[in-house]
Structure 1
Amino acid sequence: SPAALPADYSIRHMAVELLALLDSLGIQRCHFMGHALGGLVGLELALLRPQLLQSQVLINAWSSPNPHSARCFSVRKQLLLNSGPQAYAQAQALFLYPADWIAANSARLADDEAHALAHFPDTENLLRRIHALETFNIEAELARIQTPTLLIANRDDMLVPWQQSRHLAEVLPNARLVLLEYGGHASSISDPLPFQRALLDFLSAQT
């Protein structure tokens, strides 16, 4: 966004923005899917307007801060502030994908990084988005969320421990977990078929 984000920008702000968009489109009921940050937005949506969501799919999400992800976010901020956008963009793949996938897709990643740099956001806005991730904590409200929920996580995710999704599956009243063995933080890209099977099996049962 070219506009300056508020200093207290949060995941709930993002959910309210999305609700405004859905309202403008006349969407009153939907299936929601969110990856990482998007999954956090989905949790907020389920609290703010539960009647909107027929179901939700949350991929590599979490409900409260954890020390491992906090360390990753700290490293990303230091890269941005001390080394600049190019280093930040180049490091992105290390957090998203398995090592063998990175090695086999260097040309694609170079294109992705060039695109990211060409559209790189304002530094202050990016820091405020990261801060929203770091401080998100919906733990006390999880038991209120009745939305049918599929949680997808990856054992080899180096950004968000898969145990965060297991915890969500244990606490959300109407949730189940699919744990994938391979794919890193972005297995919908690095190993899409198992991801797609889990997604379609769940959605087929919701209609």
Structure 2
Amino acid sequence: MKDVEVGTLPGGFPYLAVGSGRPLVYLPGFTPEHVNPSGLPARMAIRSVRPLASGGWRVYLVNRRPGLVRGMSMAEIAGEHAAAISAHFGEPVALVGHSTGGTVALQLTADHPEVVSRVVLASTAYTLGPVARKAQWEMAHRLAERKPGYHLLAEGFTRNPVLLRVLRGLMWTVGNFGPWPLNPVDMLAMIEAEDRVDLRARLPEITTPALVVAGARDYFWTPELFTETAELLPNGRLVLYPDAGHAVNVSRRFYRDALAFLAEGGASRQSG
């Protein structure tokens, strides 16, 4: 990956960057470690954002910073993100957040609108859905105890009883071999902060153009939560794929719809 920049934003936020053009900050979903991935995970992460870069953006895949403290609020975490983005870029950026990264993106946009030009919220809503809340809480605490936990997420991916049993078994097997987070405090602080988020009352004051993209078969949330989030945002709109699940962020139609939305702001242009 010779074209990939590895760096750290002010405040200690690790990032991988690819592409050329105006800056687009991408906040990923759950990560057990607040570090830049390496090896195969890094290649997979970059592959997931290359289609956005091909649309004329310099994409920064930004993880949460290491050294979080349990008890931090999502507002505090988002505030640190906003400070890092402002210090590094010196201008409002396009923002894309998936799942947990979407929660950070929504809080950041609510509290620091001067930092964000447009925001894409993928597979996330103003609060956690019931399955997401229970599953990720239990998963994170099991991982912190060096016990398999990823299988607890299976219910968010399928309602088919046969597939559910198979998926649980596969995820348990993979999770049983680790690797375990070296610093579980980061992971727990992030999950516990997200567990307390409810931004419903804040949505009407968020005037930043926003696109909510989700799958109707994303059982971590509900279609009603996605719909309500988009409807309460003054400049929000919803794209709900009826046959898609949680991983909408790696589908061709997501890239198509996200890039079309971001281009409406006139922000996407190749650097000279």
Is the partner of 1:153 in helix, strand or coil? strand
Would you tell me which structure has more helix in proportion to its own residues?
1
- The percentage of aligned residue pairs carrying the same residue is 23
Does 1:198 find its partner at 2:257?
yes
Aligned residues: 199
- Residue 138 of structure 1: how far off its partner (Å): 1.6
Change (3 A) 1:67 1:50: same
Contact 1:70 1:134 in 2 (8 A): yes
Is 1:172 aligned with 2:267?
no
Contact 1:96-1:186 at 8 Å conserved across structures: no
Q: Deviation of residue 204 (structure 1)?
A: 2.4
Counterparts of 1:77-156 in structure 2 under 5 Å?
77=140, 79-80=142-143, 84-85=145-146, 87-89=148-150, 91-92=152-153, 94=154, 97=157, 117-118=178-179, 120-156=181-217
Give yes or no for the alignment of 1:27 onto 2:90: yes
Partner residue in 2 for 1:187: 248
What is the TM-score with the length of structure 1 in the denominator?
0.78
| Residue equivalent to 1:5 | 68
Tell me, in whole angstroms, the C-alpha distance in 2 between the residues paired with 1:95 and 1:124: 25
Superposed CA offset, 1:143-185 (max 9, x none): 1100000000111112122321101111110000000123421
Find the aligned partners of 1:151 and 1:73 in 2 and give their Cα distance: 21
Selected match of 2:106 from 43, 62, 65: 43
CA–CA distance in 1 between the matches of 2:122 and 2:137?
Answer: 22
Q: Which protein is richer in strand relative to its size?
A: 2
Q: 1:54 to 1:95 in 2, by over 3 A?
A: farther
Measure how far apart 1:123 and its partner are. 2.7
Q: Which position in structure 1 is the counterpart of 2:12? A: none
CA contact (8 A) 1:68 1:161 kept: no
* Maintained 8 Å contact 1:180/1:194: no
Aligned CA-pair RMSD: 3.4
TM-score normalised by the chain length of structure 2: 0.61
Give the 3-state SS of the residue equivalent to 2:247 in structure 1.
Answer: helix
The 1-side partners of 2:215 and 2:237 are apart by 14
Deviation track 1:58-89 (CA, whole Å, cap 9, x = no partner) reads 012121354343332344246436xx445124
Q: 71-80 or 28-37, which moves further after superposition?
A: 71-80
Specify whether residues 91 and 21 from structure 1 end up closer, same or farther in structure 2 by C-alpha distance, changes over 3 A only: same
Question: 1:97–1:183: 8 Å Cα contact kept in structure 2?
Answer: no
